Amino acid sequence: MTVAYFVKPNPGDESFCHVTFTSPPMISNLERPLRRSPSYSYPALLGLLFQWKRGVKGPGLALTLSPHHSKSFHREIVMASRQPHDLNCLTIHELGQHAAARMNKQTRDYYNEGADSGSTLLENSQAYGKYRIRPRVLRDMSLIDTSVSLFGARNSIPLGVAPTAMQCLAHPDGELATAQACKRAGIVMGLSSFATSTLEDVAAASGDNPRVLQLYLFEERDHSSKLIQRAKKAGYKAVFLTVDTPMLGRRNMEIRNQFKLLKPYKIANFPEDSNSAATASVMDSSSSDSNQTAQKTESAPGFYDGVKRRAPTGPITFHSHAPNPTLCWERDIGWLKEQCGSEMQVWVKGIATAEDALLAVHHQVDGIVVSNHGGRQLNGALATLDALPEIVEVAKGKIPVHIDGGIRHGTDIFKALALGADFVWVGRPILWGLAYKGQEGVELCLRLLRDEFTLCMGLAGTVTVNEISKDYLVKVDKSGFISRL
């Protein structure tokens, strides 16, 4: 079968490239057949075109689009390449400003605050300023492939949407809008356990797009076990176990604002508590209902009674159940791997030292995320980019190393990859996009980062993500002197 398309090689290019697939390209890492959707993402098609240009041909997936679908497919590609700029919002910084103007004070403070003085939150972003890029030239940058393989699919750029809680505070469509934006962009989504949409609804909105579940492993294992089984059934690819919350960091504005998840929103993933007034609050079990109702639904954190540890009681709330000081490598990782089985991978999110990275390798987790919880836990901890090199060194490629925290530009993605990260995750900018224009705002956020990253790759002289290495960076010290890595 011969299928021809006119495709723009680059989004900003006014010329078209006539591509004819007489034998579809070999797509070794792409399990998302083109025949499933006429609106296959533009970045992913560029990945196919890149392989075609390099002469990689063979008995790949058959293209079985009808003539009508072929026209829709072509139209979608051209539309994706011609998306106009939002002249009011050309950077992630501007996106944050627009979001701040649209969110109420309680939500704005909750999303944007770090622990204590916020120094680690600030340093997460500032760490990227310590590095400069060494660009190479005359390398034929006519076709750049920004895609990477992750969870059995092709991700359009080496970036995922990090799990962030209670997204309906930013926009009524919440996690569903984020899922739909990720699907359109071909980007993996992480879902928080404390989401305001159920994991099943998010799975339905995501379609075939990969997704992972962030997990707080509760002291009462039954709650976590039920959540894992639901995630397996809904097709989630991995569990990201948050390991940096044995207790919660001090967030002063959250305390001062007496932050509560206001009605009609609820913590959606714990149906046994869905009718409880306690789900109206993430701070404690109080609510606006009568004292009698509050007493019936009171939640209490776990404690040591002098003889043994007592687990949290009452309906699940964030502050009573999410922190778990009993977590340990020897007992909990094995249990979690048994629960996930072969259907879902087990990752640990919150690694910040080489020692813990070695333990992760020893306990055979499937991957790690270098994270300090967005600067919301231990204030004074290392910025994630500063922690990354020692972790990459001891991981030695045995397991993938991802990173989050402080990424605000496409060049930040490039720098993280150059320092050894396999992939990055972005949280707050996604919430800003959601607050700005819902799904459209999330798509804008992802498009800004994608375009900046693609431009950075091209100007730095890298055609594929695998080419990005520390050879492309120098470090600048406080005196302004530079050193090769």
Q: Which residues are catalytic?
A: 373
Length of the chain: 485
Pairing of strands 159-161, 423-426: parallel
**How far from each other are the two terminal CA atoms of the chain, in whole angstroms?**
50
Pairing of strands 148-150, 482-484: unpaired
SS3 468: coil
| CA atoms of 69 and 71, how far apart (whole Å) | 5
CB contact at 8 A, 167 and 194: no
30: number of Cβ within 10 Å: 20
| CA atoms of 7 and 457, how far apart (whole Å) | 21
Chain-centroid distance of CA 356 in Å reads 22
What are the helix (H) ranges across 363-481? 384-395, 410-418, 428-437, 439-460
**Who contacts 418 (Cβ-Cβ below 8 Å, separation ≥6)?**
131, 133, 468, 469, 470, 472, 473
104: number of Cβ within 10 Å: 11
CB contact at 8 A, 274 and 268: yes
